[in-house]
Amino acid sequence: MITLLERKIAFRYLFTKKKDGFINIISTFSFLGIALGVAVLIVVMSVMNGFRTELINKINGFNPHIKIFSYDGSIDLSKLKNDKIKRISKQFFLSNSSEAVIIHNSYTKGIILRGYLRDDFKKLKVINNDNFYGKKTISYNHISIGKELSFILNVDLGDKISIISPSSIMSIAGSLPKQKSFVVESIFESEINEFNQNIAFLNLKDLEEFFDLDKNNRYLEVFLQDPRDIEVKKNIFQNVFKDQLINSWADLNQSLFSALKIERNVMFIILSLIILIAAFNIISGLTILVKNKTRDIAILKSIGVQNSSITKIFFIVGFLIGALSTLTGIIAGIIFSINIESFRSLISNLFNISLFPEEIYFLSKMPSEIDPFSILIISLLSIVITCIVSIFPAIKASQLDTIKSLKYE
């Protein structure tokens, strides 16, 4: 319980007089240091969260959320009528894939070919965006390639390209790999260069015929209503398709997102040191304040103020510095996070540098996603640190000897 007297004295010491100007300077630097540390932490966490969310959205906009593979025989599609699966699912597509070599004008490149039925292909998210060119169909002997791949091969709609299959045919000269020409029917843009360069689409029946694939070995692609909480939803499918192998988008990109998580945690720990270092200035400020207020402390004790009250007075001073600086840092961090793309563009234009190159980060602008839980953790961390560093000088103040203090004053 904090009394009115303790509060009044604490606020009086917080806003010191001119003769205690040096204490004000230390308190100001403590305030700014903690506020800066909190703001930087919020901005970094927001950018990391935004980058992760944007990357997940782009990957899931191109790839299925769940893939179901059959160990032996075809997948029983009647299981998709299960109520739990229907409730969380949006679309289902049968698909197959294979690796091949693409050739055009003496240029060769390895690619992954994915096959879809004609009606399924036009339902894909990557096909239904403003950056798609050509027919939203996938006819026999036709192919849909990525924008980057079309630049590399220097081809346009209607041009022919050759595909070499690992499957072979027997000839007079012996066993030779299959080769077939396909007409470029459409060009897609997935917003991730890796996909645009290395993946192309064929008609599913065309793919299976050309690569000698068994149609009974098709896998099932599942697009969910909401790809979040993927492990829970994966378990729902696993309980229904007990004899099948099920992979989620998190499984297929595990190394990437594990690296992002580790980087996020390391950045949090490193930047937390800014708050810790700034908080140590509170110890310096309070220690000097105690020295300067030795006479006041002695007088308070002589009129009957308890040691616990003296401790609380100086603890409140340290706590208020930490709490106010944390609040200021939160406000500054949120404002900066919301307008971070504007700041990035301003700095890039002023200094003619690229702070967020699209070819490296897969994104055209710097993302930001403010997470209330992260802000809560950062706030608690900051306040806890300031409380801890305020305890020592507060206890030292209560332990001053009244007689000696008055004698030397």
**DSSP per-residue codes, 351-394:** HT--SS-HHHHS-SS------HHHHHHHHHHHHHHHHHHHHHHH
Q: How would residue 114 be classed by pLDDT, with cut points 50, 70 and 90?
A: very high
pLDDT tens, 305-328?
Answer: 777 787 887 788 888 888 888 899
Does residue 187 contact residue 142 with C-beta atoms inside 8 Å?
A: no
Give the pLDDT band of residue 15 (cuts 50, 70, 90): low
> How many domains, in total, are found in the chain?
2
Q: Is 137 in the same domain as 204?
A: yes
> Is the domain of 220 the same as that of 98?
yes
Q: What is the DSSP letter of 334?
A: H
Give the count of alpha carbons within 13 A of 347, CB side only.
10
Phi, psi of 176 (to 5 degrees): -125, 145
| pLDDT of 198 above 70 | yes
Tell me, yes or no, whether 296 lies in a domain: yes
CB-hemisphere CA count at 13 Å for 144? Answer: 27
Name the range with the highest mean pLDDT among 31-35, 341-345, 352-356, 397-401.
31-35
Whether residues 359 and 402 share a domain: the answer is yes
In this structure, are 264 and 291 located in the same domain? Answer: yes
Pair of tokens at residue 208: 């299976």
Residue 300 structural domain: 4-56+257-408
141 φ/ψ angles, rounded to the nearest 5 degrees: 65, 20
Closest by CA to 200, choosing from 94, 106, 105, 126, is 126
Kindly tell me if the per-residue pLDDT of 23 is higher than 60: no
Q: Which two tokens stand for residue 380?
A: 């608690």
The answer on 207 and 72 residing in a single domain is: yes
User: What does the alpha-carbon distance between residue 161 and residue 105 come to, in Å, rounded to a whole number?
Assistant: 9
Do 50 and 110 lie in one domain? The reply is no
Query: Do residues 187 and 99 touch, judged by C-beta distance below 8 A?
Result: no
**Is the residue at 48 inside a domain?**
yes
Which band of pLDDT confidence, cut at 50, 70 and 90, is reported for residue 368? confident
Strand partners, 222: 66, 92
In this structure, are 339 and 221 located in the same domain? no
In a domain, 246, yes or no: no
Is residue 232 in some structural domain? no
Query: Given this model, what pLDDT does residue 24 score?
Result: 65
Element at 290 (helix H, strand E): helix 254-292
What is the C-alpha to C-alpha distance for residues 232 and 309, in angstroms, rounded to an integer? 53
The pLDDT assigned to 213 comes to 86
72: phi then psi, degrees, rounded to nearest 5: -150, 115
Q: Is residue 250 in a domain?
A: no
Confidence of residue 363 (pLDDT cuts 50, 70, 90): low
Query: What pLDDT shows up at residue 116?
Result: 92
Q: Helix (H, G, I), strand (E, B), or coil: what is residue 219? A: strand
Say yes or no: 89 and 220 in one domain. Answer: yes
In this model, does residue 264 exceed pLDDT 60? yes
Using DSSP bridges, classify how beta strands 89-104 and 219-224 pair: parallel, antiparallel or unpaired. Answer: antiparallel
Residue 129 lies in a domain: yes
Which two three-digit tokens encode residue 221? 């692609």
What would the pLDDT profile of 289-299 be if each residue is shown by its tens digit? 777 667 767 77
Using CA atoms, how far apart are residues 392 and 282, in angstroms rounded to an integer? 10
Instruction: Determine the Cα–Cα distance for residues 207 and 113; give it in Å rounded to an integer.
Output: 8
The DSSP letter of residue 117 is: -
User: Could you tell me if residue 242 is inside a domain?
Assistant: no
Whole-structure pTM over 0.85, yes or no?
Answer: no
Residue 211 has pLDDT above 80, yes or no: yes
The mean per-residue pLDDT over the stretch 364-377 comes to 83
- 304 assigned to some structural domain: yes
- Same domain for 216 and 261? no
Domain final residue, candidates 226, 247, 276: 226
Banded model confidence at residue 331, pLDDT cuts 50, 70, 90: very high
Q: Is the pLDDT of residue 342 over 70?
A: yes
Tokens of residue 12, six digits = 């009086």
219 and 78 assigned to the same domain: yes
Picking from 184, 211, 226, the residue at the C-terminal end of a domain is 226
Q: Which residue has the higher pLDDT, 217 or 174?
A: 217
Q: Are 11 and 111 contained in the same domain? A: no
pLDDT of 4 above 80: no
CA neighbours within 13 Å on the CB side: how many for 105? 8
Q: Is 163 helix (H, G, I), strand (E, B) or coil?
A: strand
* pLDDT for the residue 360: 57
Question: In this prediction, what percent of the chain has a pLDDT beyond 70?
Answer: 87
Same-domain status, 118 and 18: no
Confidence of residue 16 (pLDDT cuts 50, 70, 90): low
Reported as type and span, the H/E element at residue 345 is: helix 340-351
Please report the pLDDT score of residue 407 as a whole number. 53
| Last residue within a domain, chosen from 176, 203, 226 | 226
Asked whether the predicted pLDDT for residue 251 surpasses 70, the reply is yes
